[in-house]
Chain A
């Protein structure tokens, strides 16, 4: 039984200053099964973030619907945790309080919030930074906190919108290993948006490639690399084969995107 089901979802943005409306996403269907780690891969401007925002309930589809365990999504909720590309920690709360934010909204007691926060602080390796404010943290640490904050709510689905996009390469690789390790241990259902082919192959067990705008899913490729994955898998022949194939798929779309002036 699929956890998350996207049915004929499309999004058209109204025209700016009397201009023609922009079709961001063609009607698209996608199923994310329980425990799937699905990467949505596409050139920039293809509408992959818009798709994710509609799953989160932060944007409304023009047509179609999103079902979570058979229930239609009407708005944002704690069952779909999200990590954004921009740094969205609450600057007035400490790391520990940020991670406990969702629990507090649920009305959980302070002691329980602290206990759960401590668990996730350990999972993302931020021991010793519990009382730090976000402005005192590096970008990588802020995104680790944001990940812990989303996980602390124990969501059914974890949505990630290029969460490591603003980080440097080394930090980025470590964050990928961290997230993959958490997924291998907890088997959360994950929907991860990225334009980075290596990132997609390394973490996902399925990669859905999107076309240039208006976006739709054009191919859905299973990544059969064994778990647990070590970072050395990135230099294996199997990895290279996937990379060659996805590079080809994405290249065509990137060229189309450039020709359209995106």
Chain B
């Protein structure tokens, strides 16, 4: 029957993946439509979908979705643009790592959400503040994970490059960077998922637009259908962006596939 590590066929893999979604949905239907759960606390799927439809058509919810997506990718792009090069330098050059690593390890544990009141004081409740929450949440994680990836480059490859006449700059640009590129891309895929958490937290406080803002508004209205619709939208966007990220990585690094 179940044997460890034996691969599953593509069709079976898709069927199994879809099956759990279906099972989850059925349990939800049974719990809500069957009257086991109070509707005030948990909307049923039909109410959720009709609330969602109203949100999109009447209240222009797609604008909120657009704003949130923009914030996630904006904050993530800024964090990556600074975090990846710094992480690479730290991984490649040990004095630079010794200089930054203790502080960044400390900063990594500072919860981004705890900065929100401070960031509101500094930057108000505009876009800059929302982006800063995401940047703080992602930057330190990216730096540390990239530094570890670059630092663990196979030493025998580095030695081989040296015996072929490479110097320090060549080692960094033509060995460390390409050899760690696939793992760095995986790191970014992972951190993009966390950026979605930070954006919603940022939008729960002091926001006038975005999916998180809609969720707080719905709480005041006791509209659990809308809240669940918002959460589902985030999940779907996350799933799609994750899939796209994986596809791009596969395209970019065909050599790293087993």
Residues of A within 8 A of B (CB): 56-58, 75-78, 80-82, 84, 86, 88, 90-93, 101-102, 104-106, 133-135, 146, 149-150, 153, 159
Residue numbers in A under 8 Å from B254 (CB-CB): 133
Among B162, B164, B253, max chain A CB count under 10 A is at B164
A75 to B162, CA, bound (A): 9
Contact of B165 among A90, A102, A133, A146 (CB under 8 A): A102
Q: Is B181 in contact with chain A by the CB < 8 A criterion? A: yes
Query: A-B pairs with CB below 8 Å: how many?
Result: 74
Q: A104-B174, A105-B164, A153-B165 are in contact. Are A58 and B255 (CB under 8 A)?
A: no
Instruction: Return 27 A-B CB contacts under 8 Å, by A number.
Output: A58-B159, A75-B162, A77-B163, A78-B164, A80-B163, A81-B164, A84-B156, A90-B175, A90-B178, A91-B179, A91-B255, A92-B179, A92-B255, A92-B256, A93-B178, A93-B255, A101-B174, A102-B165, A105-B161, A105-B164, A105-B166, A133-B255, A135-B255, A146-B160, A150-B164, A153-B164, A153-B165
Residue numbers in A under 8 Å from B164 (CB-CB): 78, 81, 101-102, 105, 149-150, 153
Nearest chain B CB to A81's CB is how many angstroms away?
6
Closest residue on chain A to residue B256 by CB atoms? A91
Closest residue on chain A to residue B171 by CB atoms? A105
Contact of A82 among B160, B170, B174, B175 (CB under 8 A): B160
Residue numbers in B under 8 Å from A80 (CB-CB): 163
A86 to B255, CA, bound (A): 19
Nearest chain A CB to B251's CB is how many angstroms away?
14
- Bin chain B's interface residue count: 20 to 34
The SS class assigned to the B binding surface is: helix
Q: Mark B16-54, 1 if CB is under 8 A from A, else 0.
A: 000000000000000000000000000000000000000
A56 to B164, CA, bound (A): 10
Residue numbers in A under 8 Å from B163 (CB-CB): 56-58, 76-78, 80-82, 150, 159
Nearest chain B CB to A188's CB is how many angstroms away?
15
A88 and B170 contact, CB distance less than 8 A? no
A106 and B181 contact, CB distance less than 8 A? no
Closest residue on chain A to residue B163 by CB atoms? A82
A82 to B220, CA, bound (A): 71
A146 to B163, CA, bound (A): 12
Contact of A84 among B160, B165, B253 (CB under 8 A): B160
A133 to B160, CA, bound (A): 17
From 216 to 236 in chain B, residues with beta carbon under 8 angstroms from any chain A beta carbon are none
Q: Is B157 in contact with chain A by the CB < 8 A criterion? A: yes
A105 to B159, CA, bound (A): 14
Q: Mark B128-166, 1 if CB is under 8 A from A, else 0.
A: 000000000000000000000000000011011111111
Among B159, B162, B163, max chain A CB count under 10 A is at B163
A36 to B181, CA, bound (A): 42
A101 and B161 contact, CB distance less than 8 A? yes
Contact of A92 among B165, B181, B258 (CB under 8 A): B181
Residue numbers in A under 8 Å from B179 (CB-CB): 90-92
Among A82, A86, A88, A104, max chain B CB count under 10 A is at A88
A105 and B170 contact, CB distance less than 8 A? yes
Residue numbers in A under 8 Å from B157 (CB-CB): 88, 90
B256 and A58 contact, CB distance less than 8 A? no
Residue numbers in B under 8 Å from A135 (CB-CB): 255, 257-258
